[in-house]
Amino acid sequence: MTDDESPDERRVHDLFGDVRRAPPPEPPARLEERVMRTARWQLAVRGTLRAVTELSAVVAGGLRGALGGSNQRRTR
């Protein structure tokens, strides 16, 4: 804490000083392994999910156009 801190900053230091000095909690067991497994799974399906999303957008756009539900103004 320095002398050029505002009263609010000093209050934060007073309230959270113990928390700042406390050691961080231990991570759950096998955390790294679970994170890596999740990242690999997401990478494997990313392309498929992107293709399904794009196909859904095309189908929705086609239905909107076929049913006349477009929000765009038509000019004659």
Q: What number of other Cβ atoms are within 10 A of residue 10's Cβ?
A: 13
* Chain centre distance of CA 54: 20
Give residue 74's pLDDT.
Answer: 54
Structure tokens at 53: 């999303």
What's the CA gap between 38 and 43, in Å, rounded? 9
Interval 1-59: pLDDT, tens: 567 889 999 999 889 888 878 888 899 999 999 999 999 999 999 999 999 999 999 99
- Every domain of the chain and the residues it spans: 7-66
The C-alpha atoms of residue 48 and residue 56 are separated, in whole angstroms, by 12
Is pLDDT above 70 for 73? Answer: no
CA angle (63 as vertex; 57, 66 as ends), nearest 5: 140
pLDDT of residue 58: 96
